[in-house]
Structure 1
């Protein structure tokens, strides 16, 4: 049993934001050039999964709850473990990985609602993409999560 086995998973909400033509939002992480991902973040104490998803959407890309609607969610948590080189570094070393509830969210406003220049920017640039390109561009240790999320939310 490794030290990681003693650590909990960090509860997180993930957002697959789609536009009117079904394309998926991805942002390139400021701290990891070349690493693209969908918006996601921790669920605060006393916050519902849905509230966390909408809060993270606004915090990370400026889209307010009035500019998007939740279409559906994954039936259960989706888990991933951090790779060895990130264990003990990410999230202050308190977690072994994340357990995530993912939400398919439709952007009901135009592209101008998206603003990645937030108070605490996470993305250097963004684009709309398709599911196949999304899976090709995600960091390898998160690929199984993204494959499961794409299958469940878009399948």
Structure 2
């Protein structure tokens, strides 16, 4: 039996997608154009869905990247949790969750920039994208997700040297 508090977090996967230069993909969300916030691909896991499958699906939906251009390098052992700001709680995800619990992946992108297509999915989530130095990631994300990005960068950075 899961702790009821644990269940109040939406299951999610997140991905640090890196190119051959060790730069990370970030996108600007369509639904938050007024802020200058950028995020790595992430999304919900369907009930019973395998996490690797969910991650590849989300990457395909958000970046248009084909699985043939993706190589899983590492999975974070520890789930990361965040709470939504109070003004967003009850408004997102049908009001069922107070935040997300995320399993993070480091994925090597072997394609070219031409293989990124933000409009590959019927409902695009990003309006712009770019490659950035991973050290900048915590400064680009909305403040309430900053601790997660710091943890992700700390865990994945040593592995970036090996790519």
TM-score (norm 2): 0.89
Q: Is this contact kept in 1: 2:13–2:44, CA < 8 A?
A: yes
Match of 1:135 in 2: 138
Match of 1:83 in 2: 85
Match of 1:115 in 2: 117
Misfit runs of 4+, over 3 Å:
none
**Counterpart Cα distance in 1 of 2:7 and 2:155:** 27
Match of 1:154 among 146, 150, 157: 157
Give the match's secondary structure for 1:89: coil
Cα displacement string for residues 5-34 of structure 1 (whole angstroms, at most 9, x for unaligned residues):
696100000010000010000000111122
Does residue 1:20 correspond to 2:23, yes or no?
Answer: no
**Counterpart Cα distance in 1 of 2:51 and 2:31:** 26
Q: Is this contact kept in 2: 1:78–1:145, CA < 8 A?
A: yes
Aligned Cα root-mean-square deviation (Å): 1.3
Give the match's secondary structure for 1:25: strand
Structure 2's unaligned 5+ residue stretches are 159-163
**Counterpart Cα distance in 1 of 2:51 and 2:128:** 26
**Counterpart Cα distance in 2 of 1:53 and 1:29:** 18
**Counterpart Cα distance in 1 of 2:6 and 2:94:** 15
- CA spacing shift, 1:99–1:41, aligned 2, 3 Å: same
Q: Is this contact kept in 2: 1:7–1:94, CA < 8 A?
A: no
Cα displacement string for residues 32-78 of structure 1 (whole angstroms, at most 9, x for unaligned residues):
12221000001112211111100000011101111111100101211
**Counterpart Cα distance in 1 of 2:68 and 2:135:** 29
